[in-house]
Amino acid sequence: MDISSILPVERIVVPIEAHDKHGVITELIDKLAATAGLTDRDAALQAVLKRESERTTGIGFGLAIPHGKSDGCENLVMAAGKPSAPVDFDSVDGNPVTFVVLLVSPPNQTGAHIQALAKISRLMNMEDFRDQITAAASPEELFAAIEQHEAPAT
């Protein structure tokens, strides 16, 4: 699974204007809705907010992966972005979030959902990838960092 095939440039927001967890999630859900990624925006938003209320998705390294399962989409969809300022996501390492990847998938697509979460986590374990994400000043630069780091080494 390639993140770049699921996360088109038009679903990347740089900068995310919201300054809190709820606002960031809502802004990314709205980006999915605006790019025909969702069949029911409100159902998708509620699913992601419900999951976030159960346990933080701020996993460390400045990354949050808010996600949920909802009938509000037909397939796994993603949006991502960089907040204009670090956002408190109650992350497990106590640090604010500077990169957010949001996933929504139908309840019957657990495998793809888990694979996508794992792939994003692996990318964030690469220091060079984190540096490129930090430096990215546009959706295109962020997308290029994802594409470059998930490509097999030659």
Given 22, 67, 113, 149, which residue is catalytic? 67
Instruction: Tell me which DSSP letter residue 59 carries.
Output: E
Nearest to 68 by CA among 84, 55, 81, 59: 55
As a whole number of angstroms, the distance between CA 64 and CA 17 comes to 16
Judge residue 8's burial from the number of C-beta atoms within 10 Å of its C-beta, 0-12 exposed, 13-18 middle, 19 or more buried.
Answer: middle
67 is catalytic: yes
As a whole number of angstroms, the distance between CA 95 and CA 106 comes to 31
Instruction: Tell me which DSSP letter residue 99 carries.
Output: E
Q: Which amino acid is at 129?
A: F
By annotation, the residues acting in catalysis are: 67
